[in-house]
Amino acid sequence: MKTDTSKKIIKFIKKNKHATAHQLVEYLSISQRAVFKQLKNLINKKVIYKSGLPPIVYYYLTDEQQIGLEIKISMKIKRVIDDNYYLISSAGEIKQGWDGFAYWCNKNNQKVDKTADDYIKIIKKYGQFKKNGLINGLKKIQNTFKDVYLDQLYYLDFYSIERFGKTKLGQQLLYAKQSQNIKLIRELSHGIKPKIDDIIKKNKIDSVGFIPPTVKREIQFMRELEKNLALKSKTISLIKLKTPVIVPQKTLSKLNDRVENAQKTIIVEKIASCKNILLIDDAVGSGATLNETAKQIKDKNICKGKVVGLSITGSFRGFDIISEV
């Protein structure tokens, strides 16, 4: 019976291109509970997939090229892909791990097994820049600016890598900000919190500052990030000045324009002296914002020790502009 019901579901979806659970209940004349049980079983077998959120959810047949896809691949490679690969599709669906990777390969007409080997090589290439899960960005900023006021700069990951585009954090950051998705911001926050806690502990941070947003949004990413991280360190107040015309850093292509923008629009409020300060930003291109904020902190004698910069994502080469976020 189960097999017959599954076949009927597949036949109905194939004929109609998609189906809702309600349509299947009417077609099969069985209980809603029985239909959902069959749908769950077919999803687990990757015969079908669902799209949408309750109350409007549609079920589709998995692409024929993915059905029965059996690729001989080592568990080690699969584990790396499961840990690293993350994609938000053009339809707004989260595709991650091995299944997400296979989806991307099929969509782009790439051989899954060979592409998996290429992906591992690229992950290793960029992984060599990481030490204890962090990328040291200080040298890059020293090559960009004559005067550097940050004592250290870390990235949690690069924003994007060659061929495969945005990294897991790059994907999460872009769509968390663009869609103002609280659930996605929470997922990102909880994923990076252990590393931030470790940075605070190792650098003996007693105060944290979050770089304020420029563009007005109903849900501000940095504010939600601060709330979700719930760091125990005290927070220093960083203010973004309102100007007649809002000019986001990402729209400026010249380095001196970015420096001027940071100098004239971000204010560090004078507070009691701190030992070591951590400045957190979402994405670093040139590093002008973090560097100029660190300069203010030191000019105002707010910090007795060091100012450490941390960006969720950073660019790989020189003065790159991360314009999407």
Express each pLDDT in 44-57 by its tens digit: 888 898 888 888 89
Q: Taking the model in full, what pTM does it have? A: 0.82
Q: How far apart are CA 235 and CA 241, in angstroms?
A: 19
Residue with tokens 């080997």: 117
Confidence of residue 253 (pLDDT cuts 50, 70, 90): confident
Sign, Cα dihedral of 146, 282, 105, 130: positive
| All structural domains of the chain with their residue ranges | 2-61, 75-127, 131-314
Q: How far apart are CA 76 and CA 82, in angstroms?
A: 10
Give the 3-state secondary structure of the chain. Answer: CHHHHHHHHHHHHHHHCCECHHHHHHHHCCCHHHHHHHHHHHHHCCCEEEEEECCEEEEEECCCCCCCCCCCCCHHHHHHHHHHCEEECCCCCEEEHHHHHHHHHHHCCCCHHHHHHHHHHHHHHHHCCEECCEEECHHHHHHHCCCCCCCEEEEEEECEECCCEECHHHHHHHHHHHCCCHHHHHHHHHHHHHHHHHHHHHCCCCEEEECCCCCCCCCCHHHHHHHHHCCCCEECCEEECCCCCCCCHHHCCCHHHHHHHHHHHEEECCCCCECCEEEEEEEECCCHHHHHHHHHHHHCCCECCCEEEEEEEECCCCCCCCCCC
Q: Indicate whether 66 pLDDT > 60.
A: no
Q: Indicate whether 65 pLDDT > 50.
A: no
Confidence of residue 67 (pLDDT cuts 50, 70, 90): very low
- What is the overall mean pLDDT for the chain? 91
Confidence of residue 1 (pLDDT cuts 50, 70, 90): very low
pLDDT tens for each residue of 197-245: 999 999 999 999 999 998 888 999 999 999 999 999 999 999 999 888 9
Burial group, residue 145, by CB count within 10 angstroms (0-12, 13-18, 19+): middle
The CATH classification number of 2-61 equals 1.10.10.10
| pLDDT for position 51 | 83
Q: Which two tokens stand for residue 259?
A: 């420096």
Q: Which CATH class is domain 131-314?
A: alpha beta
Mean pLDDT of 163-185: 95
Do residues 278 and 252 make contact, with C-beta atoms less than 8 angstroms apart? no
